[in-house]
């Protein structure tokens, strides 16, 4: 669903006459509430179970998606993008929390989960691109709503992350279970203590290392979504070729996630974590050295995708095993928040470096900084007992 929105919102904005600044605002505003409220949402997931929270937010998507063609003005679109951004993020946090509960940190199952998500990110632009070209924007947005409705049906079918469900129940709490004290509105309001307690999870070495690794690894995606595109355009590559390079990462990531479980039998989780992070950074940092040769660029993207595919289940596994069941949602939300910070800060830093040193040199400068950070992370990770992730 996220990739469907990423694909069609800019197209819709251009169609209704939005300028470049307005398109940028519409795309960027969806990260505002997730950055502010993801941790609070993760706490609510731990408190009331992922199933309840997912049902609420997916219903928002089902209802709001068909409204886009009915409100073709910038301000209403900005408001809807703000709400939809939070809804999309929270259903993804809920899905990750659910698989963490069910898999108990098993890397093989988490790898299959990552593979399924990569299949979605790979085919969503194709499906909705065809809908956009062959039908109309209204049908395209209705398609998003139906996609969300399918997600809602699946969510209704799963068990919840409640103790009752863990013990083999239906996942539907008893009438008195989970009833908020002091009223529903008060229970749903963000609390400073929730943020404090969630950030305190970083005091757990395994969580601190994995969160830092997420920031470093996700920096490569931020580079790809910013200066990487500018560089490829400047060396004369067509948009279709750039699209293929992007798709290659997603497709390879799906395959990489399937081998994560087997790799975890031969390598320690922290070695896999830091090694995959360093390799992913190096593979995008060397882009200017590939001479603009499409074959080399494609091979680098495929290799990076395979490595990133292994990285994600390892992170999921380390974090799922490092915290108790009742803190899984908060942990996922903490990871999402750090990812948002990376998505906001790295493109800005990369842009400054490109203006200062030139585009080609900026790959080397930022890549060197990120690799140095990974080296420090590896030194710290060596001191964590293997049992911390097993």
Structure confidence by residue, pLDDT tens digits, 34-91: 878 888 888 888 888 889 889 999 999 999 999 999 988 888 988 998 899 889 988 9
Give the Cα separation of 159 and 177 in Å (integer): 15
What pLDDT does 180 receive?
52
Q: Tell me which of 52-66, 153-167, 261-275, 323-337 is least confident.
A: 153-167
Residue 389: band (very low, low, confident or very high) from pLDDT cuts 50, 70, 90: very low
H helical segments located in the chain? 2-15, 20-28, 32-48, 50-64, 74-103, 107-134, 137-157, 163-166, 184-188, 192-199, 205-224, 227-234, 239-258, 260-263, 269-285, 294-322, 328-357, 359-381
- The region that residue 358 occupies, defined by phi over 0 for left and psi between -120 and 50 for alpha, beta otherwise, is left
* The dihedral formed by the CA atoms of 330, 331, 337 and 339, expressed in degrees to the nearest 10: -160
Averaged pLDDT, 162-176 = 45
Q: What is the tens place of the pLDDT at every residue in 97-119?
A: 888 888 887 888 888 888 888 88
Nearest alpha-carbon partner for 208 in 315, 127, 65: 315
Give the Cα separation of 152 and 59 in Å (integer): 7
What pLDDT does 151 receive?
93
Given a contact cutoff of 8 angstroms between Cβ atoms, the answer to whether 58 and 91 are in contact is yes
Give the Cα separation of 231 and 234 in Å (integer): 5
What pLDDT does 299 receive?
94
What pLDDT does 183 receive?
54
* Dihedral of alpha carbons 206, 208, 213, 215, sign: positive
Given a contact cutoff of 8 angstroms between Cβ atoms, the answer to whether 253 and 305 are in contact is yes
Nearest alpha-carbon partner for 335 in 192, 225, 202: 202
pLDDT at 170 over 50: no
User: How deeply is 69 buried, as exposed, middle or buried, from its count of CB atoms within 10 A (0-12, 13-18, 19+)?
Assistant: middle
Residue 3: band (very low, low, confident or very high) from pLDDT cuts 50, 70, 90: confident
pLDDT at 304 over 80: yes
Nearest alpha-carbon partner for 284 in 373, 356, 216: 216
Residue 169: band (very low, low, confident or very high) from pLDDT cuts 50, 70, 90: very low
What pLDDT does 127 receive?
81
pLDDT at 218 over 80: yes
Give the Cα separation of 159 and 102 in Å (integer): 9
Give the Cα separation of 385 and 390 in Å (integer): 9
Averaged pLDDT, 312-317 = 83
């Amino acid at each position: 669903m996220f990739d469907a929105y990423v694909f069609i919102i800019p197209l819709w904005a251009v169609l209704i006459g939005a300028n470049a600044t307005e398109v940028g605002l519409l795309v960027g505003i969806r990260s505002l509430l997730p950055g502010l409220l993801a941790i609070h949402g993760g706490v609510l997931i731990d408190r009331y179970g992922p199933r309840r929270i997912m049902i609420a937010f997916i219903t928002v998507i089902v209802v709001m998606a068909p409204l886009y063609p009915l409100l073709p003005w910038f301000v209403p679109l900005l408001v809807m993008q703000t709400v939809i951004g939070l809804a999309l993020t929270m259903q993804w946090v809920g899905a990750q929390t659910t698989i963490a509960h069910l898999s108990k940190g098993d890397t093989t199952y988490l790898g299959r989960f990552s593979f399924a998500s990569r299949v979605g990110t790979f085919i969503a632009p194709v499906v909705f691109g065809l809908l956009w070209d062959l039908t109309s924007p209204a049908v395209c947005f209705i398609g998003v709503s139906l996609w969300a409705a399918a997600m809602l049906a699946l969510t209704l079918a799963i068990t919840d992350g409640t103790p009752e469900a863990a013990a083999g129940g239906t996942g539907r709490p008893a009438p008195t279970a989970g009833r908020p004290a002091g009223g529903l509105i008060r229970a749903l309001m963000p609390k400073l203590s929730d943020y404090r307690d969630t950030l305190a999870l970083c005091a757990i070495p395994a969580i601190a290392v994995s969160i830092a690794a997420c920031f470093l690894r996700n920096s490569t995606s931020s580079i790809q979504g910013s200066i990487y595109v500018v560089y490829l355009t400047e060396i004369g590559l067509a948009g279709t070729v750039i699209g293929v390079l992007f798709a290659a990462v997603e497709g390879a990531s799906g395959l990489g996630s399937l081998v994560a479980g087997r790799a975890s039998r031969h390598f320690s989780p922290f070695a896999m974590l830091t090694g995959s992070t360093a390799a992913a950074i190096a593979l995008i940092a060397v882009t200017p050295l590939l001479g603009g040769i499409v074959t080399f660029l494609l091979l680098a993207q495929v290799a990076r995708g395979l490595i990133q595919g292994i990285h994600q289940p390892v992170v999921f596994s380390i974090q799922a095993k490092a915290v108790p069941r009742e803190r899984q949602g908060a942990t996922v939300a903490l990871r999402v928040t750090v990812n948002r910070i990376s998505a906001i800060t790295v493109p800005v830093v990369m842009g400054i470096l490109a203006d200062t040193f030139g585009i080609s040199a900026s790959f080397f400068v930022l890549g060197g900084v990120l690799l140095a950070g990974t080296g420090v992370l590896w030194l710290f990770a060596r001191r964590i007992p293997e049992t911390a992730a097993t």
